[in-house]
């Protein structure tokens, strides 16, 4: 945190102590102790290193007086303002990535429509199944990104269940001149 906010380590330690002293945050839920073990000469030294969560970093960022901390506060305030005004904040990079992915799907569908007369109905249906699965995967990732992931559809019957026997059958089908059996190894 000292490096992040561009201040001395003692300043960070003082702010953290004051955060816990004023009961702004609860130490037991925002700090974990991690044991660091190393050899110094012939002695084994064990030190407990505190690891702080995001709540502590934000609280310290609002207390520290430095250019880095000021930049942090401006950024954090703008994100909070977006939440207050819009009810949510948008990650612009994710938004651009999703837009590019949507354009790719539209291009793929456009090409598929152009190929409609050149491919069989089965191939055409398969292509649209792939596109549909892709869109479903994008939706699932989007729900994960916004912490709203829920199981939306499942299948009760598996169309294929991999076993040793059918895997060996598939491997042997690839090379009909040679039969493999790993059980005999």
Does 80 share its domain with 121? Answer: no
Does 112 share its domain with 68? Answer: no
Count of domains observed in the chain = 2
According to the 3-state scheme, what is the secondary structure of 32-92?
EEEEEEEEECCEEEEEEEEEECHHHHHHHHCCCCCHHHHHHHHHHHHHHHHHHHHCCCCCH
Within a domain: residue 173? Answer: no
The confidence score (pLDDT) of residue 154 equals 62
Within a domain: residue 172? Answer: no
Within a domain: residue 132? Answer: yes
Within a domain: residue 180? Answer: no
Q: What are 68-115's pLDDT values in tens digits?
A: 999 999 998 888 888 777 776 666 777 778 788 878 877 877 777 777
The confidence score (pLDDT) of residue 153 equals 63
Residue range(s) defining the domain that contains residue 56: 2-86
Q: What are 5-63's pLDDT values in tens digits?
A: 999 999 999 999 999 999 999 999 999 988 888 888 889 888 888 999 999 999 999 99
C-alpha span between 83 and 11 (Å, rounded): 31
Within a domain: residue 185? Answer: no
**Percentage of the chain modeled with pLDDT above 90:** 29
Any idea which residue has 């992040």 for tokens?
4
Using the 8-state DSSP alphabet, how is residue 161 labeled?
A: -
């Amino acid at each position: 945190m000292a490096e992040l906010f561009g201040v001395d380590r003692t300043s960070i330690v003082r702010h953290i102590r004051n955060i816990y002293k004023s009961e702004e945050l609860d130490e037991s839920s925002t700090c974990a102790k991690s044991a660091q073990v190393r050899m110094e000469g012939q002695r084994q030294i064990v030190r407990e290193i505190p690891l702080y969560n995001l709540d502590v970093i934000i609280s310290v960022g609002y207390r520290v007086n430095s250019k880095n901390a000021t930049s942090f506060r401006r950024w954090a305030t703008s994100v909070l303002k977006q939440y207050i005004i819009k009810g949510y904040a948008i990650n612009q990079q994710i938004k651009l990535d999703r837009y590019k992915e949507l354009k790719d799907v539209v291009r793929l569908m456009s090409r598929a429509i152009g190929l409609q007369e050149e491919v069989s109905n089965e191939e055409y249906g398969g292509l649209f199944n792939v596109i549909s699965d892709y869109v479903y995967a994008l939706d699932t990732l989007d729900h994960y990104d916004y912490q709203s992931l829920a199981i939306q559809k499942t299948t009760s019957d598996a169309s294929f269940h991999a076993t040793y026997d059918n895997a060996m059958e598939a491997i042997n089908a690839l090379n009909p001149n040679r039969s493999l059996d790993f059980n005999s190894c």
